[in-house]
Structure 1
Amino acid sequence: MYAFLSAVSAFVSDRFDKKDRGATAVEYGLLVGLIAVVIIAAVILLGEQLNVMFTDITGALTTDAGVVVP
Structure 2
Amino acid sequence: MFDVKAWAVYIVEWAAKDPYGFLTTVILVLTPLFIISAALSWKLAKMIETREREQKKKRKRQENIVKAKRAKKD
What TM-score range do you get, normalising by the shorter chain?
Answer: 0.3 to 0.5
Considering only CA atoms, is the larger Rg found in Structure 1 or Structure 2? Answer: 2
Could you say which structure has the higher helix fraction? 2
TM-score, normalization: structure 1?
0.47
TM-score, normalization: structure 2?
0.45
